[in-house]
């Protein structure tokens, strides 16, 4: 429908949303946007807070894209929320698709997670920890230490994408 104005496009009908599968489990899609920021042999990571799944594990700054939000905007918003830093968006490094089963998530839902990994260059701000969020500490971790730290599967995937 390229070239059509929003007012002349046909109505696509209702947006797909959560649905109940044949097994009675609520199923939904979650889109996340994550930042891969390197500087001087280090990568910027956030540690999962104590009351979250994966507590104490490390992951790239990022998180859920709000309805109607551009993922490119979401990654920079999440970067600032979790680390206090501002960034400039680079290329998309990869897209991850995974299906989480009810026993893997606190809500008990089946979730199709789609994660977009962006290269980000830090341009300003002051490194700080997130207060009251899903992460509790932000730190520049030496790239050489990545194999030895507790990592969320998303970080393991990202390391493969960027070759680290």
Residue 2 has pLDDT above 50, yes or no: no
**Other CB atoms closer than 10 Å to residue 55's CB: what's the count?**
13
Q: Does domain 25-162 have CATH number 3.40.1370.10?
A: no
pLDDT band at 130 (very low <50, low <70, confident <90, very high): very high
pLDDT of residue 65: 97
The tens digit of pLDDT for each residue in 18-42 reads: 788 888 888 999 999 999 999 999 9
Q: β-strand 110-125 against 26-36: which pairing, if any?
A: parallel
- The encoded tokens of residue 18 equal 């959560």
Residue pair 44/138 in contact by the 8 Å Cβ criterion: yes
Q: How does DSSP assign 88-115, residue by residue?
A: EEEEEEEEEEEEE-GGGSTT--EEEEEE
More confident residue, 161 or 5: 161
Q: β-strand 58-59 against 42-48: which pairing, if any?
A: antiparallel
The tens digit of pLDDT for each residue in 83-96 reads: 999 999 999 999 99
The tens digit of pLDDT for each residue in 50-62 reads: 998 899 999 999 9
Q: Which helix (H) or strand (E) holds 7?
A: none
pTM: 0.85
Please state the domain extents for the chain: 25-162
How high does pLDDT run on average in the chain? 90
pLDDT of residue 24: 85
Q: How does DSSP assign 8-74, residue by residue?
A: TSPP--SPP--EE-TTS-EEEEEEEEEEE-EETTEEEEEEEPTTSTTTT-EE-SEEEPPTT--HHHH
What are 36's strand-pairing partners?
A: 119
What are residue 51's phi and psi, to 5 degrees?
-95, 20
């Amino acid at each position: 429908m390229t070239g059509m104005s929003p007012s002349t496009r046909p109505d696509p009908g209702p947006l797909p949303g959560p649905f109940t599968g044949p097994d009675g489990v609520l199923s939904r899609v979650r889109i996340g946007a994550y930042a891969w920021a390197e500087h001087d042999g280090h990568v910027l990571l956030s540690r999962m807070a104590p009351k979250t799944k994966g507590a104490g594990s490390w992951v790239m700054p990022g998180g859920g894209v709000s309805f109607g939000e551009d993922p490119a905007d979401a990654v920079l918003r999440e970067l600032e929320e979790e680390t206090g830093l501002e960034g400039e968006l680079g290329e998309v490094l990869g897209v991850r698709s995974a299906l989480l089963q009810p026993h893997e998530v606190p809500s008990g839902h089946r979730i199709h997670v789609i994660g977009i990994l962006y290269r980000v260059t830090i341009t300003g701000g002051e490194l700080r920890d997130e207060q009251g969020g899903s992460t509790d500490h932000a730190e520049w971790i030496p790239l050489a230490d990545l194999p030895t730290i507790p990592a969320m599967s998303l970080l393991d995937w990202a390391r493969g994408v960027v070759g680290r």
